[in-house]
A and B are shown apart, each in its own frame.
Chain A
């Protein structure tokens, strides 16, 4: 079946430092990957949509300068949170779309939980 692995599961970083998180699709070809943030304020925000061989589309309030994303092939994507501050806390979820499954279902990883000190 389709599985998505994210690592690390949790990370703690000092304010102003950066951290990188990774997303691995197993068992299917992830032609597009969506990065979301589930915040302590209980919102579930789309950060960006990444499609292989296409430009990455960032949502309002999120920029490439702050959240650079790499999506080099059909099984891997990574995102970095640069200069992390308190407002960047949350659970970062990677959702990969399996076009072979139809209906555009997103398969999510368990997320990377970011704590900023």
Chain B
């Protein structure tokens, strides 16, 4: 049974700061890793994904994955008030016929202008 944990639970940062969100997982055979973002009252929306060890950058956002340490993270450069949302990490294990995504409970980020 995959166990996905996120830290911190909540975070307040000033505009322009660099923000780091963490996610750990328990299944060492996990294959795919996502970050979703959910603005208040809106649907969770896929932000970025990574499938192999290392880093991936898209604009102000960078994902870092370390499968050996069962950890991946999301880094936001030059945080903006519009980045304020609930950030959910999701992991897919090496399952059989079911494409099962297991989510963490989320990190609530507030970026203050």
Interface residues in chain A, defined as those with a beta carbon under 8 Å from any beta carbon in chain B: 4, 32, 34, 36, 42-44, 46, 49, 51, 54, 57, 60, 93, 95, 97, 103-111
Rounded to whole angstroms, the CA-CA distance of A32 and B97 in the bound complex is 11
Task: Pick from B20-28, B75-83, B98-106 the stretch touching chain A.
Answer: B98-106
Rounded to whole angstroms, the CA-CA distance of A43 and B88 in the bound complex is 11
Q: Inside 8 A of B106's CB, which chain A residues have their CB? A: 42, 44
Q: Is the CB of B100 within 8 A of A110?
A: no
Rounded to whole angstroms, the CA-CA distance of A108 and B41 in the bound complex is 12
Q: Is the CB of A49 within 8 A of B104?
A: no
From B41, B43, B46, B105, residue with most partner A Cβ within 10 Å? B43
Q: Inside 8 A of B7's CB, which chain A residues have their CB? A: none
Q: Is the CB of A32 within 8 A of B99?
A: yes
Q: Render B38-61 as a binary contact track against A, CB cut-off 8 A, 1 for contact.
A: 000111111001000000000000
CB-based nearest B residue for A39: B105
CB-based nearest B residue for A109: B43
Interface size class of B (residues with CB under 8 A): 20 to 34
Q: Inside 8 A of A46's CB, which chain B residues have their CB? A: 100-103
Q: Is the CB of B43 within 8 A of A104?
A: no
Q: Inside 8 A of B44's CB, which chain A residues have their CB? A: 93, 95, 108
Q: Inside 8 A of A104's CB, which chain B residues have their CB? A: 32, 92, 99
Q: Is the CB of A44 within 8 A of B41?
A: no
B1 within 8 A of A: yes
- Also in contact, A103 and B43, with CB within 8 A (given A49-B100, A97-B99): no
Distance (whole angstroms) from the CB of A10 to the closest CB of chain B: 10
Q: Inside 8 A of B92's CB, which chain A residues have their CB? A: 104
Among B43, B104, B105, contact of A108 (Cβ-Cβ < 8 Å): B43
Q: Inside 8 A of A103's CB, which chain B residues have their CB? A: 32, 49
Q: Inside 8 A of B49's CB, which chain A residues have their CB? A: 103, 105
Among A49, A54, A57, A110, contact of B43 (Cβ-Cβ < 8 Å): A110
From A44, A57, A104, A108, residue with most partner B Cβ within 10 Å? A44
Rounded to whole angstroms, the CA-CA distance of A35 and B103 in the bound complex is 12
